[in-house]
Amino acid sequence: MGYVAVKGGSKAIEASIERLKYERLKKGRIINSEDIEAGMRLLIDQIMSESSLYDEHLASIAIKQAEGSPEEAVFILRAYRSTLTRNYYSCITSTENMIVERRISASFKDIPGGQILGATHDYTHRLLDFDLAHEDPGHSQTWLESYMAKNLKEVERHPLIPMPKVKKYLYEEGLMTQYPENNTAPDDVTKESLLFPSSRSQRLQLLSRGQTGALLALGYAAIRGYGAYHPTVSELRIGQLPIFVENPLDTENMEDAYYIGDIKVTEVETLFPSSDSSHQENQTLSFETGFGLCYGQNESKAIAMSILDHCLETANPAYPTHNEEFVLMHIDPVEASGFISHLKLPHYVTFQSELDAVRKTKKEE
């Protein structure tokens, strides 16, 4: 179900749209979409993730058109996405092939390849930087050239290479719950309606493109009260993931697939202690995992996604955060914003019936 504005009173609507443009231009400054693309990378990553469309340029235009409103920008970009033809499905890719820019583990201090802090606000003081109001382009360019020269030498000494997964070593020790390999083709939620019970591929797709704030709220609820979870981040990694499509003339030979580019993704694997209580005499302990992956640098969202992934896999009926229908039906940004926004549309007839019922009750009293 999707709600959009209905037309009525064309002159009033045209005047409203003109006023909207006036509000965007009234200070006499125009923000170029290139500036948004250059300076608002985290917002762009959020919009791309929730829109299920990886295109930084289109996301920057949507942000400009929406005047910075994330839900409106996602609505615009999701609508545009629905007009695009789908020519290919990419080949299955492994995140072990990711060229890592940032990689941390909260589970282990020392991990093979080391902790890579990368670009993050986690270690900043979060004090308002008034100098940003008067940035000098010349000084910024000089700093950038110096930084690039310094790091080019560092990359030459330590080239970026794919890194092993942290959980691999838990598997080797037999500390992780083992599951049989599942090569079933994933369902596509953009092509088929969601039915319950859902498959894990459907759940992961919907979580990945879910509204960031909704995932944070439900993930927080799962940790704080509805399940009292406290997962540990086995590994959080951000980097470039190569994408390939099959050669239509040789679909069996993966070595002949076409490389079409890289996408930046955030991947999170969280660990949850679990126990097998089926035999009380020989109770065994191990770790289960939750998985999160989304476009761009979306760390909090990916962590929340991994928590909810595990919640929906375990499906404890005592908690709403484990109910797939409750979670999946309330995290979509377009559905949520559309449903709430539809309350602004005329409800004259339905409200009049409610009003008459209240008046009648009061009169009888």
**Cβ atoms within 10 Å of 179's Cβ, excluding its own:** 8
pLDDT at 7 over 60: no
Is residue 76 one of the residues assigned to a domain? yes
Same-domain check for residues 220 and 322: yes
pLDDT for the residue 72 = 95
Q: Which uninterrupted H or E stretch holds 74?
A: helix 70-81
Could you read off the pLDDT of 213-242 as tens digits, one per residue? Answer: 999 999 999 998 765 578 899 999 999 999
How many CA atoms does the CB half-sphere of 284 hold within 13 Å? 10
Question: Where is average pLDDT lowest: 115-119, 285-289, 293-297, 342-346?
Answer: 285-289
Is residue 128 one of the residues assigned to a domain? no
Same-domain check for residues 238 and 316: yes
Is residue 126 one of the residues assigned to a domain? no
* Integer Cα distance of 42 and 247 in angstroms: 34
**Cis peptide bond prior to 180, omega within 30° of 0:** no
Same-domain check for residues 166 and 222: yes
Would you say 164 and 114 are in contact if contact means Cβ atoms under 8 Å apart? no
pLDDT at 6 over 60: no
Same-domain check for residues 209 and 323: yes
pLDDT for the residue 35 = 93
Same-domain check for residues 289 and 149: yes
pLDDT at 105 over 90: yes
Would you say 241 and 75 are in contact if contact means Cβ atoms under 8 Å apart? no
pLDDT for the residue 295 = 96
Would you say 264 and 228 are in contact if contact means Cβ atoms under 8 Å apart? no
Average pLDDT over residues 11-29: 91
Binned at pLDDT 50, 70 and 90, residue 1 comes out as: very low
How many structural domains comprise the chain?
2
Q: Which uninterrupted H or E stretch holds 140?
A: helix 137-157
Environment class of residue 3 by beta-carbon count within 10 Å: exposed (0-12), middle (13-18) or buried (19+)? middle
Average pLDDT over residues 110-135: 90
Is residue 179 one of the residues assigned to a domain? yes
Same-domain check for residues 31 and 161: no
User: Domain range holding 171?
Assistant: 95-119+139-333
* Integer Cα distance of 215 and 204 in angstroms: 12
Same-domain check for residues 254 and 323: yes
pLDDT for the residue 82 = 92
Percent of the chain with pLDDT over 70: 92
Tokens matching residue 300? 């909090």
Same-domain check for residues 50 and 183: no
Could you read off the pLDDT of 75-90 as tens digits, one per residue? Answer: 999 999 999 998 888 9
The conformational region for residue 227 under phi > 0 = left, psi -120 to 50 = alpha, else beta, is left
> What's the first-to-final CA gap in the chain, in angstroms?
40
Binned at pLDDT 50, 70 and 90, residue 69 comes out as: very high
Last residue of a domain, one of 81, 111, 127: 81
Is residue 86 one of the residues assigned to a domain? no
Would you say 242 and 225 are in contact if contact means Cβ atoms under 8 Å apart? no
Q: Which of 95-109, 146-160, 282-296 has the highest mean pLDDT?
A: 95-109
Q: How many residues does the chain have?
A: 365
Same-domain check for residues 36 and 59: yes
Q: Which uninterrupted H or E stretch holds 206?
A: helix 200-208
* Integer Cα distance of 322 and 99 in angstroms: 34
Is residue 349 one of the residues assigned to a domain? no
Is residue 6 one of the residues assigned to a domain? no
Same-domain check for residues 171 and 302: yes
Q: What is the mean pLDDT of the chain?
A: 88
Could you read off the pLDDT of 160-219 as tens digits, one per residue? Answer: 677 888 888 888 777 777 778 888 888 999 888 888 999 999 999 999 999 999 999 999
Could you read off the pLDDT of 313-343 as tens digits, one per residue? Answer: 988 888 999 999 999 999 999 999 888 988 8
Same-domain check for residues 48 and 74: yes
pLDDT for the residue 283 = 58
pLDDT at 280 over 60: no
Same-domain check for residues 60 and 107: no
Integer angstrom CA distances of residue 261 from 210, 333, 354 = 25, 28, 57
Last residue of a domain, one of 31, 56, 81: 81
Would you say 166 and 289 are in contact if contact means Cβ atoms under 8 Å apart? no
Could you read off the pLDDT of 288-312 as tens digits, one per residue? Answer: 889 999 999 999 999 999 999 999 9
Is residue 47 one of the residues assigned to a domain? yes
